[in-house]
Amino acid sequence: MTKESKIPRPTIERLALYSRPLEIFVKSNIPIISSEKLAELCGVNPAQVRKDLAYFGEFGVRGVGYEVRELLREIKRILGTDRRWSLCIVGMGNLGMSLVENDNFKQRGYDFVAAFDLDPKKVGIELPCGLTIQPAHTIPEQVRAVGIDLGIITTPSREAQRAAELLFRANLKGILNFSAAQVRTPECCIVENVDLSVKLENLVYHLEMLYKEKNVTAQ
């Protein structure tokens, strides 16, 4: 087992979170940031910032802080976001349309280069971003021809497994799945499931706890 495989998943997620204020500081020509300031901007504690970064080496100077450009460069190298990634998306409903038109992906190095749908009625529609929706059965051929790195699934749950299998056949190793269905995957493929209803339920839970605390305090 490699050192990298032992790194906690939340640490990787926080690294991406740390990069956001660092990007702003770079644009503002602010050279140094302390762990306290970075922690404050990201909603964590300074000890957590230092612990997360320590998995990957020594950064910064005690009592001074981190050199912003260097730290951002190292985080991007660790995450693999120091290069551009080509994406395809399967499922051109409202969510799919919203994602391909989101400029934030391109700004962060993710380029949508192909869009597919399982519904023949949507095939051939030209999107504002310049892509034309292609039939899903052409996914294996198109992915290999264009050299796509990652696939995104935004189909209804009932179609998610079929979409995933087409992406597997194209030998894609990474899939971001926005459907509520948990797709079955081969061991060689990494699937990240983003169930928005789970996020909402987590939010509702914390709101419910907050309301209960206020009611207890008010009594």
DSSP notation for 14-59? HHHHHHHHHHHHHHTT--EE-HHHHHHHHTS-HHHHHHHHHTT---
pLDDT at 215: 77
- Residue spans of the domains in the chain: they are 4-78, 85-197
Instruction: Give me the residues paired with residue 101 across strands.
Output: none
Q: Which are the contacts of 195, defined by CB distance < 8 A and separation ≥ 6?
A: 180
Asked whether the beta carbons of 21 and 38 are under 8 A apart, the reply is yes
Angle formed by the axes of helices 68-79 and 9-27, nearest 10°:
140
Given this model, what pLDDT does residue 58 score?
Answer: 87
pLDDT at residue 1, as a whole number: 36
* 128-151 tens-digit pLDDT: 999 999 999 999 999 999 999 999
CATH number belonging to the domain at 85-197, selected among 3.40.50.300, 3.40.50.2000, 3.40.50.880, 3.40.50.720:
3.40.50.720
In this prediction the pTM is 0.85
The tally of CA atoms less than 13 A away on the side-chain side of residue 85 is 19
Rg over alpha carbons for the chain, rounded to the nearest Å, is 21
214 pLDDT higher than 80: no
User: Can you read off the two tokens belonging to residue 156?
Assistant: 């209804």
Q: What integer pLDDT is reported at residue 116 of this predicted model?
A: 98
The answer to whether residues 126 and 143 touch, using CB atoms and an 8 Å cutoff, is: no
Q: What angle do CA 58, 56, 191 make, to 5 degrees?
A: 160
Angstrom distance (rounded) from CA 85 to CA 87: 6
**Percentage with pLDDT > 90 across the chain:** 80
Architecture of the CATH domain 4-78: Orthogonal Bundle (1.10)
Query: In the chain, what's the furthest Cα-to-Cα distance?
Result: 66
Q: Give the angle 17-85-186 at the CA atoms, nearest 5°.
A: 90
| Average pLDDT for 78-87 | 95
Contact criterion met (CB below 8 Å) for 158 and 93:
no
Residue 43, φ and ψ in degrees, nearest 5: 75, 30
